[in-house]
Amino acid sequence: MSESEILDSDIYLSDKVIFETEKKYLIKANSGQGKTSVLNFIYRNNTNFEGKIKYENKLENENIFKLRIDKISYVFQDFKLFPSLTVFENIQLKNKLTDFKTELEIKDLINKVGLNHKVNSLVEKLSLGQKQRVAVVRALCQPFQFLLLDEPFSHLDKNNIKILTEIINTEIKKQKSGLIIVSLDNEYFFEYDKIFKL
């Protein structure tokens, strides 16, 4: 990464960056500039950074599992789905940890994203766009204070992006949570409270 790119960053050289619940944030950057790394730092998948990350003004180094169960949900760029399980089984795995959604609510979400006919299909048989929709639905099946989205709609057309945007907006409003999305230049259909240049 060049010095000029770092000097132009809203995040790398800031003394403090604060993300608040009930607000939506977009972090924009070119490929290879560390968009995924920022989300992995927040999610504690990667601790190779200088500085501190606090949640509700407290360090959360000790109970990462609890952090991922009820505070932060993450749609990974590579989905992190289990290929040998069905669509429903992949989503239910997350939900079983918290009993956050009923089976009916899960199937309703699957139907809304247009995958009702794939509910019992193995994930390994799905297209990339279908996997992306499953990953989003799964991320919504837990309580969270923040939803992290890493290039979440890269394999979807505008119609599917609009549908998912509406579903996500409904869920984060219901949970009074925040949204942090990293992307190239695609701002999708969300209305952001702040846009950062990485």
Span between the terminal Cα atoms of the chain, in Å: 11
Tokens of 129: 């766009």
Average pLDDT of the segment spanning 153-167: 95
- Domains of the chain by start residue, with CATH: 3-197 (3.40.50.300)
pLDDT at 3 > cutoff 60 = no
Alpha-carbon distance of 49 to 24, in angstroms, equals 24
Per the prediction, the chain carries an average pLDDT of 90
The rounded percent of the chain whose pLDDT value lies above 70 is: 93
User: What does pTM read for this prediction?
Assistant: 0.92
1 pLDDT higher than 60: no
Confidence band of 5 (pLDDT split at 50, 70, 90): very low
Write the CB contacts of 53 (distance below 8 Å, at least 6 apart in sequence). Answer: 41, 42, 44, 59, 60
Residue pLDDT, tens place only, 49-87: 888 888 887 776 668 888 899 999 999 999 999 999 999
